[in-house]
Amino acid sequence: MLVSAKEMLEKAKAGHYAVGQFNINNLEWTKSILSVAQEMNSPVILGVSEGAGKYMTGYKTVVGMVKGMIEEMNITVPVALHLDHGSYDGCMKCIEAGFSSVMFDGSHYPIEENIAKTKELVAICKEKGLSLEAEVGSIGGEEDGVVGAGECADPNECKAIADLGVTMLAAGIGNIHGKYPENWKGLSFETLDAVQQQTGEMPLVLHGGTGIPEDMIKKAINLGVAKINVNTECQLSFAEATRKYIEEGKDLQGKGFDPRKLLAPGAEAIKATVREKIELFGSANRA
Ligand code: 13P
């Protein structure tokens, strides 16, 4: 069922586990993630970046595909379709297109502006029954070869945003999108602890799930993280399996060039990654 992320994340926070947000790029990604969530009886969040939405020709296509798959594949576990790092306009478009959840990333605005825009979206999402994620303290990452360290959020600013009535909150705690550099200092549990103390029951979101060691993931869940985003790791698994298929010359054997055969190892590899994460996050059998 397509649902908002509110109930699944409140349950996760109370039950001390986390629900995975897996970003989708196309049909194969979506199908792989949904089938593993169903097989493991786990709630799941499908993340769509603005770029991925554009790639798939627009948000309406995404909504049609996801709703169609839920029906055709008999998916009974709770599924949220969520805009990842949305702009204000992107959120409005996704709300209109039928997403069940959106993230407004106002972390690059001065805090007053982040608060003002988030507040407007809280009202709209409440009225329409969508869950809303807000962000304080930017998530670092590699862009154009420049690696920025993740900025740590100010716990008081987190409280100000949480008090607006958002569903879940992403706070920067030294986490980074993509692969972590060798000299990465690790997550700041001190910041996470301070944020949780200020925000109480609010489910917290950990971005940049790729490459965070298992013990840090478990500690973060203990300190109130109830949603963990994974994107790059599925991309790497897909690329590696596809490369192997081609390098072994399988596309040149028989009908190995048929896209349904060519993309199958990559789709299976995504499944293996998602299975591993659901196991680690503890959301299996929590649907
Ligand atoms: P990774 O690509 O590092 O897994 O991060 C995903 C993410 O946080 C999406 O918002």
The rounded distance, in Å, linking the Cα atoms of 82 and 262 is 29
Closest CA to 79 of 4, 184, 143: 4
Q: What is the CATH number of domain 6-281?
A: 3.20.20.70
| Burial label, 124 (beta-carbon count in 10 A; 0-12, 13-18, 19+) | middle
- The residues that are catalytic are 84
pTM: 0.96
Average pLDDT over residues 263-271: 98
Nearest ligand 1 atom to the CA of 206 is 8
Residue pLDDT, tens place only, 212-244 = 999 999 999 999 999 999 999 999 999 999 999
| Percent of the residues in the chain that have a pLDDT greater than 70, as a whole number | 97
Dihedral, CA atoms, 31, 271, 133, 67, nearest 10 degrees?
Answer: 10
Report whether pLDDT(143) > 50. no
Q: Ligand 1: which atom is nearest the Cα of residue 177?
A: 3
Mean pLDDT to the nearest integer, 68-97: 98
Residue 139 pLDDT more than 80?
Answer: no
Q: What is the maximum alpha-carbon separation in the chain?
A: 62
The closest-lying atom of ligand 1 relative to the alpha carbon of residue 232 is: 2
pLDDT at site 142: 58
Judged against a pLDDT cut of 60, whether residue 106 lies above it is answered with: yes
Give the per-residue pLDDT at 105. Answer: 94
pLDDT at residue number 147:
54
Token readout for 246 is 């081609």
Q: What is the pLDDT of residue 183?
A: 87
Q: What average pLDDT score do residues 147-162 get?
A: 85
Sequence ranges of the domains in the chain: 6-281
Residue nearest atom 9 in ligand 1 by C-alpha distance:
229
Among 177, 234, 237, the mutation site with the greatest number of ligand 1 atoms within 8 A of its Cβ is: 177
Give the whole-angstrom CA distance, residue 20 versus residue 119.
Answer: 26
Q: How remote is the CA of residue 141 from the centroid of ligand 1, in Å?
A: 9
Task: Say how many Å lie between the CA of residue 201 and the centre of ligand 1.
Answer: 24
Q: Is the confidence at residue 144, as pLDDT, over 50?
A: no
Mean of pLDDT values over 101-120: 95
HSE of 4, CA atoms in CB hemisphere, 13 A:
18
Q: What is the pLDDT of residue 88?
A: 98
Tell how far the Cα of 255 is from the centroid of ligand 1, in angstroms.
35
1 or 151, greater pLDDT: 1
Choice from 25, 204, 225, 231 to test ligand 1 binding pocket (greatest atom count within 8 A of CB):
231
Distance (Å, rounded) from C-alpha 5 to C-alpha 81?
Answer: 8
Burial 30-57 (b: 16+ CB within 10 A, else e): bbbbbbbbbebebbbbbbbbbebbeebe
pLDDT recorded at residue 148: 59
Which atom in ligand 1 lies closest to the alpha carbon of residue 141? 3
CA 68–ligand 1 middle distance (angstroms): 26
Closest CA to 30 of 189, 234, 253: 234
Ligand 1, pocket residues at CB < 6 Å: 23, 47, 84-85, 177-178, 207-210, 229-233
DSSP 129-166: T-EEEEEES--EEEETTEEEPPPPPPHHHHHHHHTTT-
Lookup result for tokens 């970003």 = 23
Residue 251 Cα to ligand 1 middle (Å): 31
Q: Using one digit for the tens of pLDDT, what is the confidence trace for 2-55?
A: 999 999 999 999 999 999 999 999 999 999 999 999 999 999 999 999 999 999
What's the mean per-residue pLDDT of the chain? 95
Residue of 230, 235, 280 with the most ligand 1 atoms within 8 Å of its CB, for mutation? 230
Report the pLDDT value the prediction gives residue 149, as an integer from 0 to 100. 60
**Residue 260 to residue 240: CA distance in whole angstroms:** 17
